[in-house]
């Protein structure tokens, strides 16, 4: 799959200590195992001139205090609280000067963030999605991208999950409803 660097961005979803590190509040071994493949993908894409975007799921301590229904702390317990080590990106994926970081407060990286405008301002139409969790933030961000007329490409071997069937469901759903699937070795940036 050939991708033009000028109109493509790699979206690295929520590769944070809270999800990827054994001491994290919502640690998933499946999230930790995709750090190395994502690092390789990001390096190859960056070298070709493709824009890299990292999302960070960050929750202010009182975010859900007045919630009517949507309360992630009730669902998952407190996690990736603003200003904590838990909320930081894993060290293996350093953010470089030209990268963009989107701070989000829900599963969807487009919801009440600047992501859509930032991508549109740069003429980016194709989104290479990787990160964690497959059936939560990656799925919701990919679906939201598709609804906004971006082309979401889910990188199968760069998406973490709590359980294998969660990942399988998310990828099948994405492929059927709003996006495309690819392995990282099948992606060609530029040239």
* Residues assigned a catalytic role: 14, 104, 137
Contact call for residues 97 and 35 (beta carbons, < 8 A): no
Q: Sign (positive/negative) of CA torsion 30, 169, 171, 54?
A: negative
Contact call for residues 55 and 109 (beta carbons, < 8 A): yes
Residue 16's DSSP bridge partners are: 89
Q: What angle do CA 53, 54, 56 make, to 5 degrees?
A: 145
DSSP characters over 95-141: PPTT-EEEEESSS-TTTTSSHHHHHHHTT--EEEEEES-IIIIIHHH
């Amino acid at each position: 799959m050939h991708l033009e660097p000028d109109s493509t961005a790699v979206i690295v979803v929520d590769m944070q200590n809270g999800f990827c590190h054994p001491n994290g509040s919502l640690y998933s071994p499946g999230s930790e195992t995709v750090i190395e493949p994502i690092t390789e993908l990001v390096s190859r894409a960056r070298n070709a001139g493709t824009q890299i975007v990292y999302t960070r799921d960050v929750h202010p301590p009182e975010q859900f205090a007045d919630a009517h229904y949507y309360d992630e702390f009730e669902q998952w317990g407190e996690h990736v609280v603003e200003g904590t080590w838990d909320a930081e990106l894993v060290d293996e994926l350093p953010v470089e000067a030209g990268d963009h970081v989107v701070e989000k407060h829900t599963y969807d990286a487009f919801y009440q963030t600047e992501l859509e405008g930032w991508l549109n301002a740069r003429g980016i139409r194709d989104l290479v999605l990787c990160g964690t969790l497959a059936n939560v933030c990656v799925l919701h961000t990919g679906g939201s991208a598709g609804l906004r007329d971006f082309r979401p490409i889910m990188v199968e071997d760069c998406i973490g999950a709590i359980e294998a069937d969660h990942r399988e469901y998310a990828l099948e759903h994405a492929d059927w409803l709003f996006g495309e699937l690819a392995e990282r070795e099948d992606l060609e940036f530029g040239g």
